[in-house]
Amino acid sequence: MNFPRKKIGLQGRWPQALALFFLPLFFIFSFRWFLYEPFVIPSESMVPNLLIHDHILVKKFAYGLKAPFGDGWVWRWRQPERGDVVVFRYPENREVFFIKRLIGLPGDRVIVQNGQISVNGKPWIIQPVMEGAYSDEAQFSYYLEEPSPARADRKEHSIRLFAQGEHLVPEEKEFQVPKKSYFVMGDNRDQSHDSRFWGFVPEELLVGRAQLIWLSCEETLASAPFICDPMHLRLDRFLKTIE
């Protein structure tokens, strides 16, 4: 005896097919919108801490939850701190992302001269790095810098200045950080285009805090500029925390 087979209409398969297609996309985009987003360092403005072709992860929920589209905050649960390395949208072109070190918070008075910083009358302490630590010390001087007041949860970070004293901003400049804005600078103080020149970063343009270098290379593939050449990897920089 033959029993008729139950026919499954196409309408029964569509929900499953759509779920299989859209669920992975949903999780991928949710991870990128709300948790972590990858970026590639394109310039030397954060040398020696971040090098060209460093691939980093930015912790987008470090300060709160942002809307998937637009620049507004849905919920803030933490304020940025002086010394954080932050990624933000460039105020003069919001399609471009910058990465700098956060120097001044809303209401701070920042004084900069020869790449050295004072915030609210307290200078950030710098100490020379031991000679021989870098190969280009004939051209650049390297220092360990510590924000003031010092932070127990954060190590000192390195900065770079021209060795011969030809500093980018030799004269003293003073900045008063407005409300809901931040003052940022690159660690490569004499080769950084930052708040000293174009002003402050509105809080809504913050993307997140740079947390980890997960991949790094000296060169990229000629056919794909954002993909590392496996023959020129910087293995010593893999999974390095960003201070």
Between these two residues, 67 and 178, which has the higher pLDDT value?
A: 178
Residues of the chain above pLDDT 70, percent: 85
Structural domains present in the chain? 28-241 (2.10.109.10)
- Catalytic, out of 6, 30, 43, 45: 45
User: Considering the entire predicted model, what is its pTM?
Assistant: 0.85
pLDDT tens digits along 200-218: 999 999 999 999 999 999 9
CB–CB of 211/152 below 8 Å? no
pLDDT tens digits along 122-156: 999 999 998 888 999 999 999 999 998 777 667 78
DSSP string across 134-194: STTTTTEEEEEEE-SS--TT---EEEEEETTS--SS-S-EEEEPPTTEEEEE-SBGGG--S
Active site residue 45: yes
Active site residue 100: yes
Q: How confident is the model at residue 4 (pLDDT cuts 50, 70, 90)?
A: low
- Catalytic, out of 7, 30, 43, 100: 100
